[in-house]
Amino acid sequence: MVAVVVLTAAVVLALAPRYSTLMGVGLVAVGLVALPFAWTGPDPEPAGSRGREPATRRAVFAWAATLVVACLCELAAFVYGRIVPERSADFPSISMAVDPFLHQPWPRAVFIVGWLALGLLLVRPSAHRSAAAAGRGQAVDDLHPSGRAGDR
């Protein structure tokens, strides 16, 4: 079921022209489907769970450091663009750097697939809890084939 919904969304968004009404409607629909997963999430972390392990702490730190560096560069591009707007292309933001590629169909399709995959990763933990509550643990493996469902 999840695969059908994601595939349908991917096909519709990939075929819709950029900045079109269809693209906007498709994105709003995806957001409306995803938002409830943000509200209903996993249970509080039990004491002694793997979330406190050194490997997890290292990974959280490494991911946070990577994202902070990217955000600082983006911020610098924004500030530079405000100070010297006529030369903002000298210090492009991520949006400016990626924009020419997204006007082409295939790179845009790749971006859409990556974007949907990231969204699946984000809603997966709450889907796990819903599936477990319904006694349908198999649905979790469908969402995350690496088998992390039995990881906790």
Q: How many other β-carbons are positioned within 10 Å of the β-carbon of residue 86?
A: 7
* Among 30, 22, 8, CA closest to 122: 30
Q: Considering the rule CB under 8 A, would residue 142 count as an interface residue with another protein?
A: no
Q: How many residues does the chain have?
A: 152
The amino acid sitting at 54 is: P
To the nearest whole angstrom, how small is the minimum distance from the Cβ of residue 59 to another protein?
4
Is residue 37 a contact partner of residue 123, using CB atoms and an 8 Å limit? Answer: yes
Is residue 56 a contact point for another protein (CB under 8 A)? yes
Site for another protein in 86-125 (CB under 8 A): 89-100, 102-103, 108, 111-112, 115, 118-119, 121-125
Site for another protein in 68-87 (CB under 8 A): 69-70, 73, 76-77
**Is the CB of 6 or the CB of 30 nearer to another protein?**
30
CA–CA distances in Å: residue 14 to residues 10, 17, 34, 37, 62: 6, 8, 19, 24, 32
Is residue 10 near another protein by the rule CB under 8 A?
no
The whole-angstrom distance between residue 101's C-alpha and the CA centroid of its chain comes to 19
Intra-chain end-to-end CA distance of the chain, in Å: 24
Among residues 1, 134, 138, 146, the one that binds another protein under rule CB under 8 A: 146
Question: Of residues 3, 58, 83, 137, which one binds another protein by CB under 8 A?
Answer: 58
Burial (CB count within 10 angstroms: exposed 0-12, middle 13-18, buried 19+), residue 128? buried
Q: State the residues that interact with another protein by CB under 8 A.
A: 13, 18-20, 23-24, 27, 30-31, 34-35, 37-39, 41-42, 44-45, 50-51, 53, 55-56, 58-60, 62-63, 66-67, 69-70, 73, 76-77, 89-100, 102-103, 108, 111-112, 115, 118-119, 121-126, 144, 146, 148, 151-152
